[in-house]
Structure 1
Amino acid sequence: MSGNDPYTFLKTLIATEEAHAQARPGKPSRPPLIVTVSRDYGAGGDEIAHQLAEKLSVPLYDREILELAARKAKVDPLHFAEIGDCRSSSVSNFIFSLLTGSAGNLEIYRRALFESVLELAQRDCVLVGRGAHLILSGKRTFRLRIVGSRLICAKRVAQENGLPLEAAERKVYEINNKRHKSIENLFKDSYEHCSLNYAKNFDLILNTDRIAAEKAVPIILLALQQTGFDLSKPAARAPSH
């Protein structure tokens, strides 16, 4: 692998952070409780993530991940948001070059994203989206995916946004497709299987077609306990950004 390979870069970051953590005085008696949440649009993943973070008394990071990555790369967060939503790497590279005035590509965005996720994961937290389940695959992390059938998700979106069902169903398809493409563009050269449909990348996949958010959270908490995660009150809160 070349020196610019993102997977090699990620392993180096993780090893460096673990070495620093061991050298810190007064570190927590247990490893951080990290939950990553990947979700289908309309499946209730955002609500579940917020309720889960509240139950665990830990901070939740969603948009904040992009904002931290943008600060690290000295780029406007809006630019990173546009890159994350692009459907193809060629379009993403083109937009990145236009907005930053550089000849760089997604490598700058990817490195800043890796660094940001690893920094936030030094303490207990819930991380939503941004491929955090892949970035943290080398650390002890509970990787959750929330899914739902397109029709059920569309009915929720239609009700919440006052849309006709057909338009809501189209929106669900388009947003999920963007999320899948974004993950593939960012991680396909680092992970053999990076598809959001690859079940082995997750510890729990929860279909919410017949499960409301408030009923999903106890299931997730039980799964966390059964997989050996300590749900006691965190010794230290994550730094605010």
Structure 2
Amino acid sequence: MDKKIIITIAREYGSGGREIGKKIADKLKIPFYDKELITMAAKESGFKQEMFEKNDEQVDYSNNYLTAIGYVLGSPIAGLTDISMNDELHQIQANVIRQLAEKGSCVIVGRCANYVLRNDPSLVSLFITGKTEDKILRVVNDYHTASLEDAEKLMEKTDKRRGNYYNYYTNQDWKDAQHYDLCVNSSVLGIDKTVDLICEFINLKA
């Protein structure tokens, strides 16, 4: 597309948010970044990729909260310089997100991207949710979870981790609709029609 657009996707586990993001990127013919951010962050920092994978979207509560916020903003808060490894890894990924946004249009999944890029005029921030039963079935089918009960437990655990990560580094509620341009329940229209809806919204917003 001619006009620069940065699409960020926050998603509940099992909502199809990653698949939706990939299909949006394919439809708009722009780059897509999810786990790719980990590879790029590892390459830029010199840290092993396994370290980013192990700590992906996780919080170390032993560290000072204000220090973490300072590094999300791009610089440490005066007098607070001792940051945890999780905070350092988060800051590296935040820098990669900013660099990608500077290069041109793209879709970025997770990792507080909507907050990191909140002042970018080309930003379109999305939150993808879904009906609980649909999310559980998707976790079972897509991630080969043994049972519905295991899928539900994994879903709850993952959403809690993602929510804690977002809340910690933004001082905002992950599921608060006011922090997104559009919140969509993927169960209503299904994946493909949700993609169409979002693309139409992007065209209208642009």
TM-score by length of 1: 0.70
Tell me by how many angstroms 1:77 deviates: 1.8
Instruction: Tell which structure's C-alpha radius of gyration is larger.
Output: 1
Contact 1:88 1:182 in 2 (8 A): no
Task: State the SS of the aligned residue for 2:118.
Answer: coil
Q: Which amino acid aligns with 2:49?
A: P
Cα RMSD of the aligned pairs, angstroms, is: 2.2
Tell me the equivalent position of 2:129. 147
Tell me by how many angstroms 1:183 deviates: 1.5
Alpha-carbon distance in 2 for matches of 1:196, 1:80: 21
Tell me the equivalent position of 2:175. 197
Counterparts in 2 of 1:107 and 1:159: CA distance versus 1, 3 Å: closer
Structure 1: runs of 5+ lacking an equivalent: 1-27, 92-102, 189-193, 230-241
Task: State the SS of the aligned residue for 1:115.
Answer: helix
Task: State the SS of the aligned residue for 2:62.
Answer: helix
Task: State the SS of the aligned residue for 1:121.
Answer: helix
Alpha-carbon distance in 2 for matches of 1:162, 1:82: 20
* Among 118, 133, 137, the residue aligned to 2:118: 137
Task: State the SS of the aligned residue for 2:107.
Answer: strand
The runs of at least 4 aligned residues of structure 1 exceeding 4 Å deviation read: none
Tell me the equivalent position of 2:35. 63
Tell me the equivalent position of 2:187. 209
Contact 1:150 1:173 in 2 (8 A): no
Tell me by how many angstroms 1:52 deviates: 0.4
> 1:12-41 CA distances to partner (integer Å, 9 max, x unpaired)?
xxxxxxxxxxxxxxxx9x652111111111
TM-score by length of 2: 0.81
Alpha-carbon distance in 1 for matches of 2:163, 2:117: 18
Tell me the equivalent position of 1:159. 141
Contact 2:57 2:111 in 1 (8 A): no
Q: Note the 1:18-33 alignment, pairs <5 A.
A: 32-33=4-5
> 1:80-135 CA distances to partner (integer Å, 9 max, x unpaired)?
222224354229xxxxxxxxxxx741442232122100111121111111110110
Q: Which amino acid aligns with 2:113?
A: A
Task: State the SS of the aligned residue for 1:126.
Answer: strand
- Please identify, of 47-56 and 66-75, the stretch whose mean Cα deviation from structure 2 is larger: 66-75
Tell me by how many angstroms 1:170 deviates: 0.9
1:128 aligns with 2:106: no
Contact 1:84 1:182 in 2 (8 A): no
> How many residues were matched structurally?
185
Q: Note the 1:75-154 alignment, pairs <5 A.
A: 75-86=47-58, 88-90=60-62, 104-105=83-84, 106-122=86-102, 123-140=104-121, 141-154=123-136
**Percent identical residues:** 25
1:44 aligns with 2:32: no
Tell me by how many angstroms 1:162 deviates: 5.1
